[in-house]
Amino acid sequence: MFPRLLIIETRKTAKHPALWLGLGALTALLAFLILIDHAQIANGYQQDAGLAQDVLSGLSYFSWIGLLVYAVAASVIAASDYQDRSIQLWLMRGTARSTFFLARLTTILLFGLLLVIYAVVALVGLAALSRLLFWGGVDTAYMNWSALPLVALRLFWSATPYLGLALFLSVLSRSPWVAAAGVILYGAVAEPFLVRADQYFPALVRYFPAKLAQVLYEFNRTLDLSTVPSDPSMSALRAGLVIGLLLALCGSGAFVVFSRQELGGS
């Protein structure tokens, strides 16, 4: 039953117009930001560090833009069918809630990974195209191509706490838009405010998703062979384990709420 559910969830998500609209908007925004950077370099306002630095700058932009993409995508996957009662139909047919929930969680993580891979590939392609337009060539002298897969994995793993939060809020509110708004408010307003107040509880703030993402981002600087990464506040392994714990907490909380909801079925 799980493989069938996963295939159905994947196909349904791939056909959702919000996904393609989001990808189009993401591509256009990344292209605009890259063009702005290259225009500043061409006018002498910034130093040119080649394609590697373009991608790192783009990843920094995506860390903020991605919050909106993750919030909407995960919330739509998790809660869009509460209104049409398709969840109830699955449960009435004998599908276990745990199986249904696991398929939904897997779909969210799968599309989160695909979004990150798309963003990384798009950044490389858009930056290269923009360089061709501005200078007629692409400087790849310091580009560490072998680091790209790990860069994508770190970026994805950094996003999983927000994907988990979107799942939890989707199940709790049964509304994709309430859940998306909640994730955006947390990631764009509440978390930055709390991080800036880290002098009051520094031991706690260092384990916030945004701070953990910064740790992993420092390791992504190996993409640029001319850059010496700074010493991070904790190891990548430790940051990754804490991120996994945050995802597990959000997922467990979502399942507890889902298992107690009055939906019919098993």
What percent of the chain shows pLDDT beyond 90? 56
What pLDDT, on a 0 to 100 scale, did the predictor assign at position 86?
Answer: 77
Where does residue 153 rank: exposed (0-12), middle (13-18), buried (19+ CB within 10 A)? middle
pLDDT of amino acid 264: 56
| pLDDT beyond 90 at 118 | yes
d(CA 203, CA 215): 15
Rounded Cα gap, residues 216 and 242, in angstroms: 12
What's the confidence (pLDDT) of residue 133?
Answer: 92
pLDDT reported for residue 229: 65
Supply the pTM of this predicted model.
Answer: 0.91
Cα 50 from chain centroid (whole Å):
25
What is the Cα Rg of the chain in Å? 20
Token digits of residue 67 = 């919050």
Q: What is the pLDDT of residue 234?
A: 85
Distance CA 86, CA 191 (A): 34
Q: Domain boundaries in the chain?
A: 2-258
Burial classification of residue 143, based on how many CB atoms lie within 10 Å of its CB (0-12 exposed, 13-18 middle, 19 or more buried): buried
Among 95-99, 150-154, 196-200, 255-259, the minimum mean pLDDT is found in 196-200
pLDDT tens digit string along 231-253? 677 899 999 999 999 999 999 99
Whole-angstrom distance, CA of residue 10 vs CA of residue 170: 18
Segment 210-235, tens digit of pLDDT: 999 999 998 998 898 887 767 677 89
What value does the mean pLDDT take over residues 52-69?
90
